[in-house]
Structure 1
Amino acid sequence: MTDITTDPRLLLLAPDDTVYVLRAQIDAGETVLVEGRAVTVPHRLGLGHKIARQPVAPGGKVVKYGAPIGSASHAIAPGDHVHTHNLQSDYTPTYSLDSAQAHTSGSTG
């Protein structure tokens, strides 16, 4: 049976996942259905990117393919793009330009 409440470009990999994976590009300004909720995508999202299926509180686990892939660094709402701006890996350090510069500014090399 087809789920008509979710855009067909969104793929749920496992029943307990908190994110959908994009099967196709979604352009900025497009509205997609996420479990019956209309969400306007603010910027273009490419194949393989993630959109939140449900809310995730700061510190909450983000689950993809039935396994936690990281923790929310900020509140994530259904339909939000899930990426490094709101997700911190629990396995691999997440770096930003600011933290990299702060780390190297103390060296006298």
Structure 2
Amino acid sequence: MAGKSKVIVINEKDNVATAIVPLKAGSTVVVETQGRTERIKLLSTIAMGHKFALQEIAKGADVIKYGEPIGQTTAPISRGEHVHVHNVVSHRGRKEGA
């Protein structure tokens, strides 16, 4: 897959990227956002379709994808770390006041 991106960032406001191929812990991926290119070392193995943090995300902070909050962290998440149900509670299906 040389020369092709292995991840996508949907909106410039996003603090996560999505793997479009399986990615190994310890590998470095190239991420293009807001007209700049960054290299991020992955701290976790990332399955295809799963997310990883583009930056440090504090406990209780919003996870942003599509430029919108999709969940809230339950623990601090490091740059390059897997972002999934083990460290995020989804906003999907949650009712106001619940």
2:16 alignment counterpart: 19
Secondary structure at the counterpart of residue 62 of structure 1: strand
Q: What is the number of residues matched between the two proteins?
A: 86
The residue type equivalent to 1:88 in the other structure is: V
Percent identity for Structure 1 against Structure 2: 35
Work out the CA distance in 1 between the residues paired with 2:52 and 2:11: 14
How far is the alpha carbon of 1:10 from its aligned partner? 1.5
Aligned-residue CA RMSD in angstroms?
Answer: 2.2
How far is the alpha carbon of 1:89 from its aligned partner? 1.3
How far is the alpha carbon of 1:38 from its aligned partner? 4.3
Work out the CA distance in 2 between the residues paired with 1:53 and 1:28: 15
1:64 alignment counterpart: 65
Normalised by the length of structure 1, the TM-score is 0.66
The residue type equivalent to 2:67 in the other structure is: G
The structure with more strand, counted as a fraction of residues? 2
- Relative to structure 1, the CA distance from residue 76 to residue 16 in structure 2 (aligned partners, 3 Å threshold; closer, same or farther) is same
2:7 alignment counterpart: 10
The answer (yes or no) to whether the contact 2:22–2:47 under 8 Å persists in 1 is: yes
Normalised by the length of structure 2, the TM-score is 0.73
The answer (yes or no) to whether the contact 1:31–1:41 under 8 Å persists in 2 is: no
Work out the CA distance in 1 between the residues paired with 2:40 and 2:65: 22
Structure of higher CA gyration radius: 1
How far is the alpha carbon of 1:91 from its aligned partner? 3.4
How far is the alpha carbon of 1:30 from its aligned partner? 3.0
Matched, 1:82 2:73: no
Matched, 1:73 2:70: no
Following superposition, which runs of at least 4 residues in structure 1 exceed 4 angstroms of deviation? none
How far is the alpha carbon of 1:73 from its aligned partner? 0.3
The answer (yes or no) to whether the contact 1:32–1:41 under 8 Å persists in 2 is: no
The structure with more helix, counted as a fraction of residues? 1
